[in-house]
Structure 1
Amino acid sequence: MSRGPLGRIAKKLAHKRSDKVAVVRLDGVIGHGGPGRPGLSTTSVEPILTRAFDIEHLRAIVIVINSPGGSPTQSEYIAERIRQLASEKGVRVLAFCEDVVASGGYWIACAADEIYAAHTSLVGSIGVVSSGFGFVDVLGRLGVERRLYSAGENKVRLDSFSPEKADDVEWLQGLQHQLHDTFIRWVRQRRGKRLSAADEVLFTGDVWIGERAVEIGLVDGVGVMRSVVAEHYPDAEITVVDAPKPLLTRIVGDQVRASVVAEELIGGAVSALERASAVRLR
């Protein structure tokens, strides 16, 4: 009887009522991505987070992160949204570091109540970096005259085609220090007494592999997602949450599936007719 219709219904009901651990993947550069690979932002992440936190019988949220960092603002927004939803739903958040969780990626990881990494994960890079190029002599060699007009004495800073000014570099470094201080405050707020190394070690912009990250308090433990979840929530079911597919993708996907089904039906009918003809010819 358990294998019949009633058994299947009972199994579905048990599935719906069982505790869930929702898994969300955050993979890529934070902010604007490259062609064909959009970056992580509040706009792209919000639908996934909302779906994950709305799951019934939710015990915990797992955030699997693989990101070298990117936009400080988007990192802050995503991390803050995770904390808001976790507080509203009253669930714990676990972060798992994959290949690289650095800079803004680690900012987001700190939104979790616990952080785990693989033995070979690269974690940290609590710092700020800016880069550019200087082309001061290039235009002159090409016989090109650049004309630049602005209102406001500081409107044009660190222009790639103008000589570098010491005041501009000092201004940029001031911004970097402010951002760095904000990053450090966030890490201290979230990690608290778990941080076990001096500031001169933690906040230099360095990265560490998993076990060393545990030793200095940036990570709570070394472990892979399914093993840690099974240990923490042995009776819960893991539910992977994907981003909602755009309407066009859903329509095209449905058309493809319908086409495949039609081909299978036609192929089955033709095979049946061929078998029937063969029987008659006998």
Structure 2
Amino acid sequence: MTGFFKKWMPKRFRKDGVTIPVVRLHGTIMAGGSQFRPALNIATVAPVLEKAFAVKDAPAVAISINSPGGSPVQSRLIYQRIRDLAEEKNKRVIIFVEDVAASGGYMIALAGDEIIADPTSIVGSIGVVSGGFGFPELLKKIGVERRVYTAGQNKVMLDPFQPEKEKDIEFLKSLQLEIHDIFIGMVKARRGHLLADNPDIFSGLFWTGGRGKELGLVDGLGDMRGELKKRFGQKTTLQLMSASRGLFGRRQPGAMLSGDLAERVTASAISGLADVAEEKALWGRFGL
């Protein structure tokens, strides 16, 4: 049958294979981001997820994750959006782990009805971390005096330009424990019946995909193309979903920046140095 006639035939008479929409979530998870330094957050991810779940004839949506984590808020928002769309559109969600799905990356992976990893993937790191840099001695060396005026005794808590205070650290740790409890609750709610009886699971440790399967953190080992063809047939095609393009063909981030290009580049370079270092540290924890 020629392609011309096949195009106009009712879908129920066609013998085409199944098309599975694919969403690729790659990078650190943080609010903000720009065309110059993209990031995973609900603003940038939501439009692509909407497109993927809108593919009517697709029995499932495949999501590829490669993230060392980041913002717990943005991770949870992305997780919730995936689950809401899956229930609204009645579609199965299959998560595929690339290099790493750790911390916030693993939190997003929990949105999957199944999690498939490569044997050498890194998964887990179910914990909470806060990082930063302190510069009080640097200011002294370069002859700069820090001047801060506040209304409220705790408004400069954890100021990187002042020495750390024990009470500030204790307060931060109490917040981390609250977030950690929420993370643990999510893991137990989604995978509690599959988890091995091992206290290290919630300690912040991370494992290979093979060991993660033994612990119940993932359901299987494999790759996206092979796994989807095995499930839905050899004629299955994968359709990579992407963000819509703007007037001049550029990918649209969740929020557009305004102002002069040179100013944006300069501002990004100045304000983003610490963020870049922190991002490198996140990937570096997993040898990436």
TM-score (norm 1): 0.81
Contact 2:23 2:49 in 1 (8 A): yes
Which letter maps to 1:215?
E
Which letter maps to 1:241?
M
Give the equivalent residue in structure 2 for 1:84. Answer: 84
Contact 1:63 1:95 in 2 (8 A): yes
Q: Give the distance between the partners of 1:10 and 1:202, measured in 2 at CA.
A: 52
Give yes or no for the alignment of 1:142 onto 2:142.
yes
Give the equivalent residue in structure 1 for 2:196. Answer: 196
Q: Give the distance between the partners of 1:244 and 1:15, measured in 2 at CA.
A: 29
Single out whichever of 9-18 and 179-188 deviates more from structure 2. Answer: 9-18
Structure with higher RCO (Cα < 8 A, 6+ apart)? 2
Structure 2 gap segments, 5+ residues each = 251-288
| Structure 1 residues 166 and 5, CA gap change in structure 2 (3 angstroms) | closer
Secondary structure of the structure 1 residue equivalent to 2:22: strand
Q: Give the distance between the partners of 2:155 and 2:229, measured in 1 at CA.
A: 55
Q: Give the distance between the partners of 1:16 and 1:47, measured in 2 at CA.
A: 31
Residue-by-residue CA offset, 1:126-152 (whole Å, 9 max, x unaligned): 111112223233323333322111111
Q: Give the distance between the partners of 2:15 and 2:157, measured in 1 at CA.
A: 58
Give the equivalent residue in structure 2 for 1:258. Answer: none
Give the equivalent residue in structure 2 for 1:232. Answer: 231
| Structure 1 residues 175 and 7, CA gap change in structure 2 (3 angstroms) | closer
Give yes or no for the alignment of 1:69 onto 2:69.
yes
Name the one with the larger helix percent.
1
Query: Bigger radius of gyration, 1 or 2?
Result: 1
Structure 1 gap segments, 5+ residues each = 251-282
Q: Give the distance between the partners of 2:236 and 2:175, measured in 1 at CA.
A: 45
Q: CA RMSD in A?
A: 2.4
TM-score (norm 2): 0.79
Contact 1:20 1:56 in 2 (8 A): no
Single out whichever of 52-61 and 156-165 deviates more from structure 2. Answer: 156-165
Shift of 1:70: 1.0
Secondary structure of the structure 2 residue equivalent to 1:193: coil
Identity rate of aligned residues, in percent? 48
Contact 1:23 1:63 in 2 (8 A): yes
| Structure 1 residues 35 and 47, CA gap change in structure 2 (3 angstroms) | closer
| Structure 1 residues 66 and 19, CA gap change in structure 2 (3 angstroms) | same
Q: Give the distance between the partners of 2:60 and 2:3, measured in 1 at CA.
A: 33
Give the equivalent residue in structure 2 for 1:170. Answer: 170
Contact 2:6 2:14 in 1 (8 A): no
| Structure 1 residues 196 and 102, CA gap change in structure 2 (3 angstroms) | same
Secondary structure of the structure 2 residue equivalent to 1:137: helix
Shift of 1:67: 0.8
Shift of 1:181: 0.9
| Structure 1 residues 11 and 98, CA gap change in structure 2 (3 angstroms) | farther
Residue-by-residue CA offset, 1:29-53 (whole Å, 9 max, x unaligned): 1124477231011111111111111
Q: Give the distance between the partners of 2:2 and 2:190, measured in 1 at CA.
A: 49
Aligned length: 249
Shift of 1:69: 0.9
Give the equivalent residue in structure 1 for 2:28. Answer: 29
Q: Give the distance between the partners of 2:142 and 2:134, measured in 1 at CA.
A: 15
| Structure 1 residues 24 and 39, CA gap change in structure 2 (3 angstroms) | same
Contact 1:96 1:116 in 2 (8 A): yes
Which letter maps to 1:151?
A
